[in-house]
Structure 1
Amino acid sequence: MNNSLKFSWIQWAIGTAIAFLTSLLWVEIGEPRDLGTIEGTIGGTIIGCFQALILSRWLPQSWLWMIATLIPWGLMGGSNFGLIGWVAPRTDSWLIRLVVGLIFGAITGFWTGIWQWLVLRTRLSGSQWWIIINSLSWSVGLSLGWLVGGLLRWKTHLFLGEVIGLGITWILVGIQTGIGLGKLLERNFPTLKSRPSAKI
């Protein structure tokens, strides 16, 4: 692949982390009942915008990525499941945080991954792997982020520990999904170069 067109997972991870920090200007981290559809839509839009800008070199209609990101987060915010990417668990149990984080993270990644796959499938063969990559990334990222957040809160007695924990979650998710997406793009680059833009 041409070096100028190589996908940088580091750029993806940093962009995702910055997007999360930017979202905190409008979305306050709290418990599930504190956050709703509006917060989910705002958070999803910001995350989607940053990621779409990075993807614009490979996906001609990358703005669709923003749409495919804000919709699932908005729906999650309005559901009983909650806006997981901005939620701090109530429990202080490290084991519960770890186990529930694995489960809720997998669900979150699967749900958002399906919507984003609808965009990728028009351009990438094997794009269904994105759903699995996203699920595993969120499962690992959320469980470790919640665990670190709980430990920091227990150590400092400050809610800031939870914020740092969620920041770690988004960084880990960004790194893992960035590496996975990079592999998909490298595998499909000749196809992307020769195939005309999909009409939607």
Structure 2
Amino acid sequence: MLLAPENTRFSFALLWTLATFSGFLLSLLFIEIGEKPDIGVLEATVGGFAIALLQGCLLKQPIFCIRWILSSLLGWSIITAIGIGALGWIVPSTEFLPLRILYGAIYGGLGGLGIGLTQWLAISQPMAVVWRWIFVSSASWAIAIPFGSVVGIILRRLTHLFLGEVMGLAITWLVVGILTGINAHKLRS
């Protein structure tokens, strides 16, 4: 039985979210969560590869999958090299909540913009879809980083364990997966 377009869109968004979150979990086998100076370009590239590989498996054409992976690696490398950092694997150094929210929104928006701009290289869709993806990437990270950071600091304060911060990063990746997954179905056509 064929799925209705709404069900297909929801199913793809769910798969995208699972792929993104699973990619983050896979990346933890290779990357140690840390503060900004601890995570370099190599670690960001390895983490970006884990995420992009699982996301790419959902895309229709093999050449698109390869371009998606390569453009994502480029994005993670660039934003880490220019000092924004390996978003999603770094814990803010400040424990002052308002600064975490502000810096998270700024760095998240800029990092998401960088990743979205490089992923544009892989998207062979009308410019409206491309620009929407760049905006969605930027907005998703600008929302997810502060949200995950707040959850992380609360859990760390409650448990007195750094694991709380890691859980906050997991929440960040889950939110990014959901927000980008809502629009990612348009990349497949």
DSSP 3-state at the match of 1:3: coil
Q: Is the 8 A contact 1:40 1:75 kept in 2?
A: no
Residue 175 of structure 1 is matched in structure 2 by 178
Report which stretch shifted further, 6-15 or 42-51. 6-15
Deviation at 1:83, TM superposition (A): 1.2
Deviation at 1:78, TM superposition (A): 3.0
Residue 75 (structure 1) aligned with residue 78 (structure 2): yes
Deviation at 1:98, TM superposition (A): 1.1
- After the TM superposition, list the runs of 4 or more consecutive aligned residues in structure 1 that deviate by more than 6 angstroms: none
Query: 5 Å matches for 1:84-103?
Result: 84-103=87-106
Aligned mates of 1:160, 1:115 — CA distance in 2: 32
Q: Is the 8 A contact 1:106 1:138 kept in 2?
A: yes
Deviation at 1:107, TM superposition (A): 0.5
Q: Is the 8 A contact 1:38 1:77 kept in 2?
A: no
Residue 3 of structure 2 is matched in structure 1 by 3
Deviation at 1:125, TM superposition (A): 4.7
Query: 5 Å matches for 1:146-161?
Result: 146-161=149-164
Query: 5 Å matches for 1:1-200?
Result: 3=3, 6-7=8-9, 8-55=12-59, 57=60, 60-120=63-123, 122-126=124-128, 127-182=130-185, 184-185=186-187, 192=189
> RMSD of aligned C-alpha atoms?
1.9
Could you say if the C-alpha distance between residues 135 and 43 of structure 1 is closer, same or farther in structure 2, counting changes exceeding 3 Å?
A: same
* 1:123 partner amino acid: Q
Deviation at 1:4, TM superposition (A): 8.7
**TM-score if structure 2 supplies the norm length?**
0.90
Q: Is the 8 A contact 1:92 1:150 kept in 2?
A: yes
Report which stretch shifted further, 78-87 or 172-181. 78-87
Aligned mates of 2:35, 2:42 — CA distance in 1: 15
Deviation at 1:95, TM superposition (A): 1.2
Q: Which runs of 5+ in 2 are unaligned?
A: none
Deviation at 1:80, TM superposition (A): 2.4
Deviation at 1:154, TM superposition (A): 1.0
Aligned mates of 1:93, 1:150 — CA distance in 2: 9
Aligned length in residues = 183
In our comparison, the structure showing a higher alpha carbon Rg is: 1
* 2:121 partner amino acid: L
Aligned mates of 1:137, 1:105 — CA distance in 2: 8
Percent identity for Structure 1 against Structure 2: 37
The CA deviation string for residues 30-68 of structure 1, in whole angstroms up to 9 with x for no partner, is 01111111101101111110000011x267522110001
* 2:22 partner amino acid: I
